[in-house]
Amino acid sequence: MDENVGDAITDALRLRGVDVITVAEDGMKGKPDGNVLDRATALGRVVFTFDYDFYAEATARIAAGVHFAGVIYARQLSVTIGQCVRDLEVICLAGEPEDLVDRIDRLPL
């Protein structure tokens, strides 16, 4: 979870058995988006974010052919907490992190 994602989404996913780590828990809070994405890639983890700049970073990597673990992006005012939780749970339980490599998915589904 990127640092702009509230605890309600993280906590609800954990209650549903989804393995989640936050940027803060990983010691990456306040770091540039590119560094966060590099760290997530090293860990083999997809990043969920509401941050358009993060979305732009991933888009630039796709255009440049730079590998990354994957990003799930939502416009904060276009999706509810419940929608985020349901959609992220579906994504996590229906596939593997490798399915999102070098991709950006958007919520709501």
- Is residue 27 scored above 90 in pLDDT? yes
**C-beta of residue 109 within 8 angstroms of C-beta of residue 36:** no
Say how far apart CA 40 and CA 31 lie, in whole Å. Answer: 12
pLDDT one-digit tens code per residue, 70-102: 999 999 889 999 999 999 999 998 988 899 999
Q: Is 9 or 77 the better-scoring residue by pLDDT?
A: 9
Q: How many CB atoms lie within 10 A of CB 63?
A: 8
For position 4, what pLDDT does the model report?
95
For position 31, what pLDDT does the model report?
97
For position 97, what pLDDT does the model report?
86
Say how far apart CA 6 and CA 11 lie, in whole Å. Answer: 9
Say how far apart CA 13 and CA 27 lie, in whole Å. Answer: 20
**C-beta of residue 36 within 8 angstroms of C-beta of residue 23:** yes
pLDDT one-digit tens code per residue, 29-65: 999 999 999 999 999 999 999 999 999 999 999 999 9
Q: What is the DSSP-derived secondary structure letter of residue 95?
A: S
Beta-carbon contacts of 62 under 8 Å, excluding residues fewer than 6 positions away, are 102, 103, 104
